[in-house]
Amino acid sequence: MRVLAGETLSPPPLWLMRQAGRYLPEYREVRREAGSFLDLCYNPDLATEVTLQPIRRYGFDAAILFSDILVIPDALERGVYFEEGHGPRMTPIDVDGISGLDPSRGPAHLAPAIEAVMKIRANLPTETTLLGFCGAPWTVATYMIAGHGTPDQAPARLFAYREPKAFMRLLDILADMSADYLVSQLDAGADAVQIFDSWAGVLGEVEFEQYATRPVRRMIDSIRARRPGARIIAFAKGAGTLLRSYRQDTTADAIGLDWSVPLDFARELQREGPVQGNLDPMRVVAGGTALNEGIDRILDQLGHGPLIFNLGHGITPQADPETVAALVARVRGVAA
């Protein structure tokens, strides 16, 4: 929270995207107990347990609510389910489907996640930040339109070109529902929130402004109008040089950086405020020299400004828990 307010700390605070997940044996045990992935997300006790697991194991400086970005379309009755080995699936939406969306189901449907936030906060060490989160409207819309993930999100891009009014209406609905959801998380005990735009990198310059920046700014304006002190991290994966104006245009407190962002460019961005990132998750899988060199370069280049150390995307299931422990020790300057 101090870094989000603009302070520089050494060592920097540390957490990892997807730090509660399949690389941990204790997570896999709870996942088997839960049944389906969504059942795990919607069970406040189990979601609390898996959120706390990496805090107990590693003592990260932040915990992040265990949930999924697709709980919003699930609340909109899009038939979300997760297919083993293939990821999320849902009923694709068309123009008529957009006109029939009913956002009023959101609060009741998402109540288990809000209950989980309260339970996590009650069981989290007082010095550990609790992060809430949601998906950004563009990324969530890509799944809703295709019904699943695609390599370049061509279905959503084509839909946006062919049906611009309907598409902008969809983004506005998602932005407003997501803002309400994040306000509820903040009220339930989250200290800050992160907005994940995992598919921002497929957009051109004009489309990035319309489909990524504008909806996130709409969300942040809505959140801050109701909770003026809210701290917000915006992560637009793959945005590259478009990040130059992203913080200013969205008014996010910090911007997340994926591993493809050059560190000299990251330093430029850091002059405007806090950055978060940006270790390649594959360095965690590789371990050893590759991991150490990646960590050291980030700390050398970005450690003299406001930095939250993190990965450039989520940790992968192939990561060894002992390698993650070595990462934590190196960032903190403790002998592994």
Which residues belong to the active site?
18, 22, 31, 68, 143
Q: What is the DSSP string of 35-93?
A: -SHHHHHT-HHHHHHHHHHHHHHH--SEEE----TTHHHHHTT---EEETTTEEE----
- All residues at 6 or more sequence positions from 81 whose CB lies less than 8 Å from its CB, including other chains: 36, 38, 88, 89, 90
- Beta carbons of 21 and 53 less than 8 angstroms apart: no
Residue 52 backbone phi and psi in degrees, to 5: -80, -20
- Beta carbons of 196 and 235 less than 8 angstroms apart: yes
Pairing between strand 254-256 and 129-135?
Answer: unpaired
* 19 conformational bin, left if phi > 0, alpha if psi -120 to 50, beta if neither: alpha
Q: Which of 279, 164, 262, 256 is nearest to 211 (CA)?
A: 164
Q: Which residue has the tokens 């560190």?
A: 263
Distance between CA atoms of residues 312 and 99, nearest Å: 36
Per-residue b or e along 105-128, where b marks 16 or more CB atoms closer than 10 Å to that residue's CB: ebeebbebbbbbbbbbbeebeeeb
Q: Which residue has the tokens 């990646």?
A: 294
